[in-house]
Amino acid sequence: MSIEHLDRSTFLKKMLAGVAVLLATSAESLAQGAQQPDPLATRSGWEVGAQAAHYHYEEPRAMKLIGSRVGGLGSFTFTQAGLFFRTDVRLSYGELKYQSEGSGTKDRVPDAIFEPRFVVGKDFPSDNGVVFSPYAGLGFRTLYNDLRGNTKGRSTPANPSGIYAGYRRYSYYLYAPVGLSTRVGLDNRWVLAPIVEYDFFLRGTQISTLSDVGGCNRDITNTQKRGYGYRAAFMVEKSRWAFGPWIHRWSIENSDLQPDACGGAPLLEPRNWTREIGFEIRYRF
């Protein structure tokens, strides 16, 4: 073998070794970049989670529904040039305690909430390591509870037995959420992400299936036009995980009046408020 051939072979080996080192370094840098996204930026992708909450619904001086709930949630976020587009869905279920001043009590009342939302927002980084992300969108909250069965309450001249029959109820809220998420960087890539939101109540529909009671009763549909909601959360995030406490509250005014098929006074959905306080955990894909 010639000296020229040996020199060429040595040169090729050194060149290939250099290329291999360069490729390995580049791959490692790309992997680190993929594994370490900016913890303060809104991320694209999917999230799933679970939550537990204490629920309190009340019609003042009339009735209450109180108890624990469990639920799940999922969301998908798309980001582009600092903007984010997020759709999320929440499903919550509880078996609540019904308490009424007139019609007694009832345990284990099935109560379910289904709530899809869509929001659009934008990240605004600041010079002190905090990102502010205002957003707005549209949400739809649907609730179902089932009070069918009998309760024993106080006797009245109109109902001397004190036995009251329950019915199913469907509740629909259309609202516009406007909120602000703030992301604060901590040591070791931990992030605090408090959220505050005001929910502009657009319209509510309440369907009371009074036909469940029987007799002359018929189903009633009431419309609600005034109310508001708000929510807040104090989330803590690290890598793919996020967790923290939250609160949701609604306050809704009296609905319109609908005639009573049995000849009584017109029927309405009375002024009411709802409060949920819970804790959730999320995982990001």
Mean pLDDT of all residues in 116-130: 94
**String of b and e for 246-271 (b: at least 16 CB within 10 Å)?**
bebbbebeebeebeeeeeeeebbbeb
Which position has the higher pLDDT, 220 or 165?
Answer: 220
Q: Do residues 32 and 82 share a domain?
A: no
Q: Do residues 139 and 272 share a domain?
A: yes
Which position has the higher pLDDT, 153 or 158?
Answer: 153
Q: Is the pLDDT of residue 92 over 50?
A: yes
Q: Do residues 61 and 199 share a domain?
A: yes
Q: Do residues 134 and 158 share a domain?
A: yes
Rg (CA), the chain: 28
Q: Do residues 21 and 124 share a domain?
A: no
Mean pLDDT of all residues in 22-38: 53
Q: Do residues 101 and 155 share a domain?
A: yes
Q: pTM for this structure?
A: 0.83
Domain hosting residue 229, numbered range: 41-284
Using the structure block, give the residue that is written with the tokens 């284990």: 108
Q: Do residues 137 and 253 share a domain?
A: yes
Q: Is the pLDDT of residue 28 over 60?
A: no
CATH number, domain with residue 221: 2.40.128.100
Q: Do residues 18 and 104 share a domain?
A: no
Write the pLDDT tens digit of every residue in 40-81.
Answer: 889 999 999 999 999 999 999 999 999 999 999 999 999 998
Q: What is the pLDDT of residue 21?
A: 53
Task: Write out the two tokens for 112.
Answer: 């379910």
In this structure, are strands 104-122 and 83-100 parallel, antiparallel, or unpaired?
antiparallel
Collect all residues with Cβ–Cβ distance below 8 Å to 242 and sequence separation of at least 6: 47, 49, 193, 235, 236, 281, 282, 284
Q: Do residues 24 and 87 share a domain?
A: no
The number of distinct structural domains making up the chain is: 2
Q: Do residues 24 and 111 share a domain?
A: no
Question: How far apart, in whole angstroms, are the C-alpha atoms of residue 195 and residue 42?
Answer: 13
Q: Do residues 144 and 179 share a domain?
A: yes
Q: Do residues 143 and 3 share a domain?
A: no
Q: Is the pLDDT of residue 23 over 60?
A: no
